[in-house]
Structure formats: structure tokens, C-alpha cells
Amino acid sequence: MKILVTGGAGFVGSHIVKRLIELNHTVVTLDDLSTGRHSFLVDVMNHHNHTFVNGSVLNRELLESLIEQSELVFHLAAVLGVKNTVENPLKVIEGNIDGTRNVLALAYPRNKKVIFSSTSEVYGKNDQLPFNENSSRVLGPTTTQRWCYATAKALDEHLCFAYAQQGLPVTVVRYFNAYGPRAMASQYGGVIPKFITSALKGEPLTVYGDGSQTRCFTYIDDMVSGTLSCMDHRFNNEVFNIGKDQVLTINELAAKIKTLTQSSSPIIHIPYDAAYGKGYEDTPNRIPDMTKANKLLNFYPLIDIEEGLRKTIAWYQTELENDQV
């Protein structure tokens, strides 16, 4: 199959591209390299079934030509990160909504299936756990920019299902805290790469708040498997949680990474206000209900947190040795 992957040089996207190539699909990767890296695609960059295009989903002319040549689109290109939501909400809102609108509007007249990568952030601070795909969304006020990413991705989902109602085949996947090799420890990255990098460098592991907030982390190989299973047209016009319901507090995560890296780094706590400014809100708990994905996709994550962390730490050790982190 001829497949377009937007954001394919990013963390999740590059793993999807590699798996698709391994499955003998023909893949075009579209990425503007704002956060993605050529090096993430080193294993497939020169493969005869792979083409890399340096460009943006905001370029409609380019995007139209790529969708025209494709049979299916994985749309992962996005603007994300807590720092971005606080510091540059316009970039988050416009970058996510405009790009997704372009993908859907161009895929629709050509009847090209779109698999859209959304986020567990859309559930907000709902305290009714675990989150199933029909759970209500509970967000803070619009004056608190922390919620703009969740809002933008939710609007993207509304666009997906509005086009689905008109006949476009669409599947939405909501990711729960992906981690693994290539998840970078930038200021916009996730907690696991930040903790691992700090631990390996002997720097403090910084926990925001009291560390009692809970998360469920999903190893990248499992996340890719769940996402690719949605290529089946039986799952058109559906939304699925893609995650692993193994719960950890952030304090427990920090302690586990410190142990696995054999690090002497201290674990410190700082208030949210000190990190993100006054009025920042976090979601206290985020746990997926995996019933639907288990039943329909036959999706059962295989990698537990300790095994996944060991694999991720090994990758970071190599990157640090090569001065890549």
C-alpha cells in the first residue's frame, strides 16, 4: 500500500514509518523537521520503498500532491508540549487545527483513509477513572492557556468525525504517554526522557508538584502496533484509546528510573507555578480504559514499564556517548 505519514520524522512517526517499511508498504514521510530529525529515519531513509519530503502540512499544494499519490494517511504532524501551550498558544492552536483541516479537506474528495493521532489530553481533568472513549471532557477556563492543546486536538477530532459523517474513512487514536527510543528530552519533551537524561548526567530529577499525580506509560512498539491495527477499514469512524493501564505516580517513576540508571541524582520537587507560571493546572490522574481496544483491535500491550525503561535508557546511553542529547 502507498502510505503518507505526516510528522514521520518525529518520535512516534519515525517508529510508524519504520514498521510500515518492514511490512513492505511504500511510504512517503512528510516532516518540516521543526521537532523531527533525519537521524530518526536513518534505518529507512535510503530504502527503495521510502521517500522523505521536507515540508509542512500547512503547505496545501504540496500536501495535495502527496495525498493524491497515497492510499492512506497517518496524520501525526502536530505542535505539542506543555511549554508551547503556555508560551505560544497561537502556535499550538493554529498549527494543530490548520494542519488537520488541510489533511482532511484534501483526503475527503479523494476518499483516502486518515488515521489521526490524538491524545489523552482531550479528557482534561475529569476525575471519573478510567477514561473510556465516551468519557466527558473536563477542562479549565479558556483564560488558562494550559488547556489550548487539549482543545485544539479535540477540535481536530470533531473535524475528523464531521468528515466521517460526510463519508471519509477516518479512525482516531488517543495516545497515553508514549515513551521509548527517540523521545527527546527537550523543554517540550515528556517526563521519561527528561528523567532519564538527568539521571544519566547526574543532574537532579525535577518533579513538578508533589509527585502524587498518576500516569500510564505506553512503550512505543506497543503504541505502533495499536495504531497500525486501525488501518483495517472495519474500524472506520471509530476512536480508540491506545495505552497501557499500568499506573505509576510520578514519584514512583522518578525512583524507578534512578534505580535502573544506578544514578546518584537527587529527586527534587518544585511547584507548578515556578515551572509554568501562576495558575498552571495539571491533570491529577490519567488512566485509560482499554476495553474497546482490547475487544475490537485485539490490542494488548506487551512491554511492561520496567522492560520499556531499560530499552529506553540503553538508547539514551548511546546517544549521550555520541553527544546527541
Task: Encode pLDDT of 237-284 as tens digits.
Answer: 999 999 999 999 999 999 999 999 999 999 999 998 777 777 678 889
Element (H, E) at 215: strand 214-216
Give the residue numbers spanning the domain of 158. 2-178+219-244+287-303
Sequence-distant (6+) residues with CB within 8 A of 86 are: 145, 146, 276, 277, 280
Mean pLDDT of 24-48: 95
| 256 close to 305: Cβ distance less than 8 angstroms | yes
Mean pLDDT of 147-163: 96
Which CATH number belongs to the domain containing residue 75 in this structure? Answer: 3.40.50.720
Q: Is the residue at 104 inside a domain?
A: yes
Mean pLDDT of the chain: 94
Euclidean distance between CA atoms 215 and 288, whole angstroms: 9
Which phi and psi angles does 9 have, rounded to 5°?
Answer: -100, 5
- pLDDT surpassing 70 at residue 66: yes
Residue 298: pLDDT band with limits 50, 70, 90: very high
Confirm whether 300 is a catalytic residue.
Answer: no
- pLDDT for 89: 86
- pLDDT for 153: 96
- pLDDT surpassing 70 at residue 188: no
Give percent of the chain above pLDDT 70. Answer: 96
Digit-coded pLDDT (tens) for 158-175: 999 999 999 999 999 999
DSSP secondary structure of 160-207: HHHHHHTT--EEEEEE--EESTT---STTS-HHHHHHHHHHHT--EEE
Q: Is the residue at 14 inside a domain?
A: yes
Q: Is the residue at 52 inside a domain?
A: yes
Q: Which residue has the higher pLDDT, 277 or 142?
A: 142
| 285 close to 213: Cβ distance less than 8 angstroms | yes
Residue 145: pLDDT band with limits 50, 70, 90: confident
Q: Is the residue at 280 inside a domain?
A: no
Please report how the helices 148-165 and 89-107 are oriented relative to each other, as an axis angle in degrees rounded to 10.
10
Mean pLDDT of 25-52: 96
- pLDDT for 325: 63
**Is cis: bond before 130, omega within 30 of 0?**
yes
- pLDDT for 189: 61
How many domains, the chain? 1
Euclidean distance between CA atoms 299 and 114, whole angstroms: 20
Element (H, E) at 240: strand 238-242
Q: Is the residue at 154 inside a domain?
A: yes
Mean pLDDT of 5-15: 97
- pLDDT for 169: 98
Digit-coded pLDDT (tens) for 189-227: 689 999 999 999 999 999 999 999 999 999 999 999 999
Residue from 108, 149, 163, 219 carrying the catalytic annotation? 149
| 164 close to 104: Cβ distance less than 8 angstroms | no
Q: Is the residue at 260 inside a domain?
A: no
Euclidean distance between CA atoms 259 and 166, whole angstroms: 52
Q: Is the residue at 103 inside a domain?
A: yes
Q: Is the residue at 185 inside a domain?
A: no
Element (H, E) at 154: helix 148-165
Euclidean distance between CA atoms 226 and 136, whole angstroms: 23
- pLDDT for 274: 78
Instruction: Tell me which DSSP letter residue 232 carries.
Output: S
| 180 close to 244: Cβ distance less than 8 angstroms | no
